[in-house]
Amino acid sequence: SHCTHTATDASGTAKATDVLFDDHQYAAAAKLKVSMACCLNMCGAVHSRDIAILGYHRSRPCMDHEYMDKMREIPLAIACPTAAIKPAKIKLEDGTELKSVSVNEPRC
């Protein structure tokens, strides 16, 4: 099953593979399967493709605590292979307490 949250975007990967585009302008004997994973969980059987691309962030993800519990299910958001993202209760400036996540930056 696929996660419903993106861990990386495709712009960096697309720029890197654009350089190789001219090298793949020929008819191959068989279809070449290329897939991209957004984290080390490698959803979608990326490891069983001919070419697997793993995208990752170099900095910690930004959190919008005010909308986190409305946009994502917490169990899906904490599916992190390094356990850097954990459930947390965040108290806003107005005193409202929200269910959100905390990020352990050294583990990212």
pLDDT top residue among 61 and 101: 101
**pLDDT above 90: percentage of residues in the chain:** 0
pLDDT top residue among 86 and 55: 86
Domain boundaries for CATH 3.30.70.20 within the chain: 65-107
Computed over every residue of the chain, the mean pLDDT equals 73
Q: Which of 92, 66, 87, 91 is nearest to 77 (CA)?
A: 87
Q: What integer is the mean pLDDT of 65-73?
A: 71
Q: What is the CATH number of domain 65-107?
A: 3.30.70.20
Answer for the pair 63, 99: CB distance below 8 angstroms, yes or no: no
Q: How far is CA 17 from the centre of its chain?
A: 18
Residue with tokens 């279809």: 31
Q: What integer is the mean pLDDT of 5-31?
A: 68
Q: What integer is the mean pLDDT of 68-88?
A: 74
